[in-house]
Structure 1
């Protein structure tokens, strides 16, 4: 009986330690993601301000030299696809990086994403961007909370959701050339649904990965895991925001 009580007490201590570690891990994930979001917002706002000027003669807004370079030259394609290259590079090289290096790469990626997204300030009003961001933040918080607390196993949705992401990516590239408004609307609807699902799915995956590795994972692995978790949730938030903006954004 004494041995049983000792075992149960030891198990309780171990469970409590895992719970505390999980809270710290999730705080690191959300904290890293939040810093990335802040860098993206600041970069997008600052670059959009530098890209537009007012013509003193007519009083109309016009692109500066920087604006012409990043929005109206072949460089725009590099800027458009640079964040995608960063994601693949970080995912492929994470095992060879230190946690500190991976975090720095993530922050650089977030700033580059801000450059890529800066054009939304030229297309949509600032008020509608702010409103959409607030709605996205509320929806994201609710979906992530559901993924963290639900007892339902969401792992079965992973393959389906990733197929949806690939389909959206292919359709978006095709629509660059055909410019179909109907296809654009369909992509936006599907995009909201897919990334809403991914927000809950990724949150649960980050939680279960930590629990599975907590007892034997070292601090370096946990640091890298938190960064990759932050990257996943960051991408979910950004894509959810961009697709919602197509519905809620008021154009300039």
Structure 2
């Protein structure tokens, strides 16, 4: 027979899971807002754009800085405090906004806005599917990660080959990969919070934050690949 204590404990766990799950999407959205605002501010500053565009050390330093932040955060999340992890997530969002500011030099503002809404709709549909489906998507993980590694290798190779056909093949495959990763990550986050999110504490908040980072990366990459297809160049 279930006691009042058991009912209270179950309610508390459900409340914690719901709160953490909501925080995943709040933090992801805030990171996207920070990235968007940073991109707009940098794009409106010709001096900053010129400095980055004409200084390869600075440009590649920003790229390497982004990669280093994600790697360090992912590899050391258990050692960092939640406050430190949050700061690094915000720092990454700002750095990503600086590098993404160049899209405003290449594409029209209207096509960027259109692509953003298409991305939001696609992302939302796949995240919802990953959250509510009863199908186990864990088998997608290895396939999508291997496909992503292949995509990165192909992208680097095409940097030298400069094949237009390869460019478009990479683009469409990239869209498919990140659509799949959105559903996979959404389900993985739900399962992780269901398993560990029995209360709101330092550890579970870091789990939710890393979930937000995963979905943020899915959204940004999906947006960039869709922009290749839907974007109108100036």
Normalising by structure 2, what TM-score? 0.93
Is 1:195–2:190 an aligned residue pair?
no
Greater RCO (Cα-Cα under 8 Å, separation 6 or more): 2
Aligned counterparts of 1:128 and 1:154: Cα–Cα separation in 2: 33
Counterpart for residue 87 of structure 1: 70
Aligned counterparts of 2:10 and 2:173: Cα–Cα separation in 1: 39
Q: Which has the larger radius of gyration?
A: 1
Aligned counterparts of 2:138 and 2:37: Cα–Cα separation in 1: 35
Counterpart for residue 55 of structure 1: none
Is 1:68–2:50 an aligned residue pair?
yes
Aligned CA distance change for structure 1 residues 35 and 218 (closer, same or farther; 3 Å): closer
Is 1:238–2:220 an aligned residue pair?
yes
Shift of residue 104, structure 1, vs aligned partner: 0.9
SS of equivalent residue, structure 1 residue 22: helix
Aligned counterparts of 2:122 and 2:25: Cα–Cα separation in 1: 15
Counterpart for residue 59 of structure 1: none
For residues 1-252 of structure 1, what are the structure 2 equivalents within 5 Å?
A: 5-6=1-2, 14-51=9-46, 64=47, 66-74=48-56, 75-215=58-198, 219-252=201-234
CA offset digits 1:136-163 (Å, max 9, x no partner): 0111111111111111110111011111
SS of equivalent residue, structure 2 residue 36: helix
Q: Can you give the 5+ residue segments of structure 2 that lack an aligned partner in the other structure?
A: none
Shift of residue 86, structure 1, vs aligned partner: 1.4
Q: Can you give the 5+ residue segments of structure 1 that lack an aligned partner in the other structure?
A: 52-63
Provide the aligned length of Structure 1 versus Structure 2. Answer: 233
SS of equivalent residue, structure 1 residue 138: helix
